[in-house]
Amino acid sequence: MESDLSFDLVFWSVILASIYAVSRRRWSFIVGLSLAIPALGTEIALYFYRGEKLLFVSCLLDLVFLVFVTGAIIGYVVRQERISVDKILAAISAYLLLGLVWALMYGALELSHPRSFRMTQGLGVETEIAHTVPHWADLDNFIYYSLVTLSTLGYGDIVAVTRAARSWSAVQAIVGQLCLAILLARLIGLQILQARKV
């Protein structure tokens, strides 16, 4: 339970930082706050009631919140404004948030369709990822799998088994490459425009 709390504290910090990140525009701050409150509420409720349905709802609420925040940050990055360190850090944050979004998606998928993923440990010994994913503290396998898939590195030690898991993994690999190419191209294009104006 202590590792759950420390991991959740990190995630709650991400939620609070995300609310601050979208607070530049009033409407996005209001929407972000309205999505964050139920997400945090269900996370806290999980300390008192550890039901699988509540866990699934919590995953979905976190997922909706992170999708909104990631979209808002990507919107900020591609807007035609002066390139700054803030904009570059926002692009990096958006890319990493995509990894968290997919990790939550994989966690929700495993909860709704058990045995969607298989893990190879050591010398080819295969095990299944635990069916009851106790939220953030044990989402580390999915965070790892998500970041490896997003970067199309694919070590192969965690394998998507079901059709849904394989489909989402393929979509994530494509989105990861497109995000890198598009965000990088946009930032370079804005930098060139800035240089010409000077």
Angle between helices 2-21 and 52-78 (to 10 degrees): 30
The model's pLDDT over 19-78, given as tens digits with 9 standing for 90+, comes to: 777 777 888 889 988 998 998 888 888 878 877 788 888 889 989 999 999 998 888 888
pTM above 0.75, yes or no: yes
Q: Which domains occur in the chain, in start order?
A: 2-197 (1.10.287.70)
| Greater pLDDT, 197 or 169 | 169
What does the mean pLDDT of the chain come to?
81
For residue 96, pLDDT over 70 is answered with: yes
